[in-house]
Structure 1
Amino acid sequence: MPAIEFRDVVKRFGDNVVLDGLSFDVPQGDRVTLIGPSGSGKTTILRLLMTLEEADGGLIHIDGDPYTHEYRGPKRVAIPEKRRRVVRNRVGMVFQQFNLFPNMTVLENIVEAPVHVLRQPKDEAVARAEQLLDQVGLADKRDARCTQLSGGQQQRVAIARALAMDPEILLLDEVTSALDPEIVADVLGVLRDVAASTDITMLLVTHEMQFAREVSNRVLMFDHGRIVEEADPETMFTAPRHERTQEFLRAVLG
């Protein structure tokens, strides 16, 4: 059973067709990176999975369960909000911008959703948050305000906050693009550790090709809302077959 399944998914913004009958699977436990030029539909895929956007056609399944729509006979219909929320809680995301609550401490940012969304006892949520802060190297920042942290530290808090929900699927949208180059390595190191130490399914959008090569077990090349090539990282980055992939990698890798 795939962790993520897209079937004939269409997404339009006005007359612009961003995803054009897209179909692909992400098996459970896989780390899949989406690459391609800006505007190729990569981030739209993550936004659909976060229900920040809604598809205009086709179906998305999480662990075999309909995510936002299903077919009843020939008709595509929205599933009830209660069912949608149950499936949605299996998916976590780390954004380009950290989206932390500035009026809360680091610890409060991490325990907020487990307590109020998952209804975890607060002592359990705090214990888990402290464990995650240690994992991302910020145990000493437990009581700091997020506004007192550097960008790299805030992004590590955002990663800990996403993991605190114990998602089955973690979405990563250009998580280093807002960071200064000298602190990118710290954030990528945390994510390498997550990939190595858990069986969480990861779907990444990144321009950090070396990171994609190290963490992924599959890479999908997108252009104009379609997959033009897919391969394991070694093949994709050393011997891509499609001319569009070759052009793109020459541009980003120099």
Structure 2
Amino acid sequence: MPRSDDNHTNRPDAESDAGAVPHARAENGQSGGGDDQPLIRFEKVVKRYGDNVVLRELDFAVDAGQRVTLIGPSGSGKTTILRLLMTLERINGGVIWVNGDPLSHMYKSGDGGELVPATEKYQREVRKKIGMVFQQFNLFPNMSVRRNITEAPVYSLGISRDEADQRAEELLEMVGLSDKIDAHPTRLSGGQQQRVAIARALAMRPEILLLDEVTSALDPELVAGVLDVLREIARTTDITMLSVTHEMGFARDVSHRVLMFDQGQILEEGPPEQIFGDPQEERTKSFLHAVLESS
């Protein structure tokens, strides 16, 4: 079964040792969003597992509404970025910001001033802006498709069951599965399960959608259907998308920017026509040649 790079679980030696960050502020000097700052910002972020440094003082940003794709060899840190944004991992240094609010940290007292490592409760609140679709579909097999999509909005967002049901019906129509709303995941193909997983992520009305190699666990004939759904989302919504993929055609079609990662750092970035048509780094050229030759 294909697996993602960097798909680690937290270990004691992976806990953040960054400690307090004195007087760290968002770019506009305030907590909260603003038009003059990116939606996502990594500021000197370090992530390591024991002696293995996965991210090396990473700086990068994504503006609201941008679709950014991360490419590069396995182990280069791409999936770790998504897992940090979902707070499935803790950083070892630096700060992550989402819409002007610290995600990895929290203000020690009120807005502004010293930042200290965030509590799980605080991270859950900031993370409500973010949805993620994983390689493995992670659907609850004992629940119908309807309940897989509606449970989190009802219990996490506090919306009514009727509103959640209506949203589920709309999303299933969008992903082409209206007739499967009362089916159980075990009755669906892998491609259908992944489309349900996309609908489930969107049901939380996130500002940011993270996509982690969402077709890598699918049989080849099922890949196109899932990618078509994602292309339609990119075409018809202004949701911010951060994708990790080896589907270079998809990356070329939907991305505003493509970032080439190697050894925990951004080696090269640019619009897809430049990265795929005229890459500047030899490592980018060799990576793309290997991926396109194998596809």
Q: Same fold (TM over 0.5)?
A: yes
Residue matched to 1:24: 60
Structure 2: runs of 5+ lacking an equivalent: 1-36
Shift of 1:83: 3.0
Q: How far apart, in 1, do the equivalents of 2:103 and 2:133 lie?
A: 20
Pick aligned residue for 1:227 from 261, 266, 271: 266
Corresponding position: 1:135 with 2:174: yes
Structure 1: runs of 5+ lacking an equivalent: none
- 2:213·2:246 contact (CA, 8 Å) conserved in 1? yes
**% identical equivalent positions:** 67
- Runs of 4+ deviating beyond 6 Å: 71-75
Residue matched to 2:290: 251
Equivalent residues in 2 for 1:1-254, closer than 5 Å: 1-70=37-106, 77-254=116-293
Q: Over residues 104-152 of structure 1, what are the superposed CA-to-partner deviations in whole Å (9 max), with x where a residue is unaligned?
A: 0001100010001111100000000000000000000010011000000
Q: Over residues 147-199 of structure 1, what are the superposed CA-to-partner deviations in whole Å (9 max), with x where a residue is unaligned?
A: 00000000000000000000000000000000011110000000001111111
Structure with the higher fraction of residues in strand conformation: 1
Q: How far apart, in 2, do the equivalents of 1:81 and 1:251 lie?
A: 41
How many corresponding residue pairs?
254
Shift of 1:70: 4.8
Amino acid at match of 1:20: R
Q: Over residues 59-111 of structure 1, what are the superposed CA-to-partner deviations in whole Å (9 max), with x where a residue is unaligned?
A: 00000100021576996511344432221000000000000000000011000
Q: How far apart, in 1, do the equivalents of 2:143 and 2:106 lie?
A: 39
Q: Over residues 3-55 of structure 1, what are the superposed CA-to-partner deviations in whole Å (9 max), with x where a residue is unaligned?
A: 11000000000100000000000000000000000000000000000111010
TM-score normalised by length of structure 1: 0.97
Higher relative contact order (CA 8 A, sep 6+): 1
Q: How far apart, in 2, do the equivalents of 1:154 and 1:250 lie?
A: 31
Q: Once superposed, what is the RMSD of the aligned Cα atoms?
A: 1.4
